Chains A and B, each alone.
Chain A
């Protein structure tokens, strides 16, 4: 494999992330017993693991490597890493503890794993380097706070082009400029993907290039790129490159939209578009028609891209304002309850009751004579009455505003 054959063995030969690379080398060079451990964050295929191995070799460290997503329990971690808590080895070599994919250590089944890791960080007499792809896992915050963080970005296309061209030259092969540009574009800043695709191209099976690409984007990055996208295709690629459940994608976009400052009409337009994708997910899971999921990213990107044009919607990690959360989770239950009673009373489907009748009931409840009749007629309890009054008040305020 070209990826292995041309893997840089020296930190100077890696491409991209120059400032971060320099800072990491400085960190390891100046490492002392009071130094924090390092945590390298970044998307796959940009040289994080390669850098750790190359710098360790360069500075004379023996690497004690552990893939944290394979060994995740406290007992197993302790067994593998316990002896490294002391720095004495038979031949007095310098040891670097390298924990790859630490983001995989989290989860319900991994009780104790993270506590062990935090304890190891505190008491280790050897430098510890951790690598993770994502930083949106809230539990990672503890690790981020106790570490010196180095953030890797995707590699600029120009540098990818230089690297791929160089490999072709060393292989004694030539590549058509258009194909080269296509490889670079499709790699999306992922060096590993670019080299893999280049090798496939050289073998003459380039039709399958884009199908074979193995590019994964973290959820945060995917959504950031999605909101920043300048073309529909770019928006689609950002969503499709992220391994996130469709429902979670809708939720994350929903949250980001609500946390952005949008005027009422635009907000309605965007929400309507988002609801199309949400409806699709609901239909798929209701009918178990999973094959339709392949269209989900396209529909989500396609319907939202135009609506989001000219807005400043950005990915937001902020949770919804408490007032709004309360309204969504608490009032929703009460409004559904009112609609169900309405449906039963007037022999309607619950969907019709919510969509067409509830708004009129809310409007009518604004009128003094009607409010009591509605409450009695639908046998509403105190909490439903409260929500109904609040809704009615909001509607009348909106009407007054015009």
Chain B
């Protein structure tokens, strides 16, 4: 199962207790029509543990690239071990953007763009 931070997703029925844990303890947002949303307030480590144990399948969390919006597989990152336990980032930078020469300026420009 894949969860992209900042994008709504659906999951199979997990039962009341698990649902409560996901929403109350792990801070996953829920909306009847749209499903679930992992935001900056969500404890992603807890979400993956709960869902992994309940659904008996590997749960992968993907962050969005702040610059281009592409989803990023944390498993492929060289810093996987350095930030695995604090999966609470709002976004990250993908490989393609990372190698751009002016990535620092592009990042600032993207923020300026979003500020409007």
Q: B-contacting residues of A (Cβ < 8 Å)?
A: 11-13, 15-22, 25, 151, 153-159, 161-163, 165-166, 181, 184-185, 188-189, 221, 224-225, 228-231, 234, 238, 312, 314
Contact = CB atoms under 8 A, between A and B. Distances in A.
A189 B79 CA distance: 11
Interface in B62-84: 63, 66, 77-79, 81-84
6 contacts: A16-B89, A22-B114, A165-B104, A185-B82, A188-B82, A314-B25
A313 B111 CA distance: 37
Contacts of A18: 66, 90-91, 111, 114
Nearest to A21: B111
A189 B83 contact: yes
Summarize B's interface: helix, strand, loop or mixed. helix
B85 A238 contact: yes
A312 B90 contact: no
Interface residues of B, number: 37
A162 B107 contact: yes
Interface of B: 25, 39-41, 43, 45-46, 49-50, 53, 63, 66, 77-79, 81-86, 88-93, 98, 103-104, 107-109, 111-112, 114-115
A157 B91 CA distance: 11
A185 B79 contact: yes
Contact of A228 (B40, B85, B107): B85
Contacts of A221: 86
B14 to A, nearest CB: 14
A400 to B, nearest CB: 28
B41 A159 contact: no
Which of A20, A161, A314 lies at the interface centre, i.e. has the most chain B CB atoms within 10 A of its CB? Answer: A314
B85 A156 contact: no
A228 B114 contact: no
